[in-house]
Amino acid sequence: MQVDIQQKLLNDKQMMEFLKRNSTWYKQLNRNSASYNEFVGAMKEKYKTRATDKMSGLMENIDMISSVLNILK
C-alpha cells in the first residue's frame, strides 16, 4: 500500500473502523492503490455520509416535525 494512502487511513478514525470491519479492502488497497476512491465511496455508502443520504435524513426530519405540528393543531 502506498504511504500516502496509509497516512489518509491512519488520520481518519471512520476509515480505520470501516477497514477493520471490511478486511477485504486491505487486499484491494495493497494490490491497486487506484481503488482508494472505491473504498471511500463504499465507506460513505455504509455510514450514510453521502450528500443524498444527508438530504433524505433532513427530509425525514422535516416530515416528522410537520406531523407533530399537525397533531398539535
Where exactly are the structural domains of the chain? Answer: 3-72
Structure confidence by residue, pLDDT tens digits, 24-57: 999 999 998 889 999 999 999 999 888 888 888 8
Give the H or E element holding residue 52.
Answer: helix 51-72
pTM of the model: 0.73
CB 40 within 8 Å of CB 16: no
23 in helix, strand or coil? coil
User: Quick count: other Cβ atoms within 10 Å of Cβ 12?
Assistant: 14
Residue 6 amino acid letter? Q
Q: What average pLDDT does the segment 6-12 reach?
A: 92
Length of the chain: 73
CB 49 within 8 Å of CB 63: no
